[in-house]
Amino acid sequence: MKQDNLISTITALATPVGQGSVGIVRLSGPSSLNIAKKMLGFEPKPRYAHYTDFLRNDGSVIDKGIALFFNGPDSFTGEDIIEFQGHGGATIMYEILNETVSLGAELAEPGEFSKRAFLNGKIDLVQAEAISDLIDANSKTAADSAMRSLKGEFSRRINNLNKKVIDLRVFLEATIDFSDEEIDFIEENQVSSKIKSIHAEILSIYQASQSGSVLREGFSIAIVGKPNAGKSSLLNALTEENSAIVTDIAGTTRDLVRESIIVNGNIINIIDTAGLHETDDSVEKEGIKRAREATEKVDLVIFVFDARDISPDRNLLKLQDMTKPIIYVKNKVDLTQEDIGIKTIKDNAYISISAKNLAGIDILLNTLITHIENKSSLEGVYLARKRHIEALNKTMSSIENARKQLEMGSIELVAEDLRSASQYLSQITGEFSSDDLLGEIFSSFCIGK
């Protein structure tokens, strides 16, 4: 049975499995230094690179490399850390790893080094997640955003905001004890103005976080339109795969088809939907219902229509009521002998293509990239996760409720809503977090991180 997290000594490969010029085995915990003494034959100095032999228990040499010792609490995890940096062959690395286990270390779980850093107060939860996000970043923009979070910029904004919420709550709770002078206190200290200011700041952080969420989880689009407009052909053209069935029979797609592509380092998640039309078929009805639901969750909608359709019905999805971007794609222009190209009408892009011939697909992709860059171009974007977005949403709701309660004169309820807002903000940085949440977060990390 695994020992308590902060008592046991853990070990893991800190570099990918396989052949390479350098490989690293990392240890953290109270026995790290003793294990190092036995494997090196001497006690390493803190923060000093020792070029030396790595020894087995019988004194034979496993490898020759560099040993580093970082003594706690001045280390990443806050504990004693040892790194054995040797030649990166799998056999050698596992020999070193097995030797550390034979000397009392336990194999680390995914993300356990970062988890210990969090539990020991070396980093907060946002910074811990940023380590994983930095490793997984698929573009320079995403890496820069993850680094901002790792450096603590996101956490500082959250903590500064939380302090304002707490200060205001403490003030209101104090005024409750002086009910005769309550109204004067509130007016003199501009409580309403402060609540509005807090809401504006939450909205600013929320917008930056939403943009960062696109960088991390991908930009999502839904392809919609009437049956046989060429939606599935467009999906296949974008993915360069036969992801969807394409026939001359209308209504082939009855459920959502999901695919992902990477363009210029950006993840684009594409959903092909059922054709929108009036039908009595129960299966088609369900597919159309799912298509409409999908468009509510994506970042952008591509409305595809047949070039031969003189008046495509754009009201099928109530596109005129949408606040999200819409790209109109006139498909099958090879049948009407029209030119491939793009034009802008009332701030919406209209692109003429032939999905079958792959003509104009590059124009569509470039337009998508422009939308992605615009969405993630806010100053100070953070590589936010879904849980951050959800917590900020709940915080905004609590602040909005506080404003309404203030207008009604319910000071006790205002203070309670501010308390809820503070708790949601604290969940982002991990000041308040459940064991289940921590387990879910760190289990997605690499082993050795």
pLDDT digits (tens, 9 = 90+) for 167-186: 888 888 777 765 555 555 55
Q: How much is the average pLDDT of 323-348?
A: 86
How far is the C-alpha of 46 from the C-alpha of 82, rounded, in Å? 10
Q: In sequence order, which residues have a C-beta less than 8 Å from that of residue 45 and are 6 or more positions away? A: 69
> Residue 261: in which H helix or E strand, if any?
strand 257-263
If pLDDT is split at 50, 70 and 90, which confidence band does 249 have?
very low
Q: How much is the average pLDDT of 197-215?
A: 80
Identify the structural domains of the chain with CATH numbers, from first to last. 10-123 (3.30.1360.120), 134-214+385-430 (1.20.120.430), 218-375 (3.40.50.300)
Alpha helices in 319-385 (DSSP H): 361-375
Q: What is the pLDDT of residue 4?
A: 47
Question: Which of residues 315 and 35 earns the better pLDDT score?
Answer: 35
Give whole-number Cα distances, 56 to 44, 45, 92, 284, 387, in Å. Answer: 17, 21, 12, 67, 46
Output the average pLDDT for the chain: 81
With 0-12 / 13-18 / 19 or more C-beta atoms within 10 angstroms meaning exposed / middle / buried, residue 152 is middle
Q: What is the pLDDT of residue 11?
A: 94
Q: What is the pLDDT of residue 382?
A: 65
How far is the C-alpha of 215 from the C-alpha of 290, rounded, in Å? 25
Residue 125 has pLDDT above 70, yes or no: yes
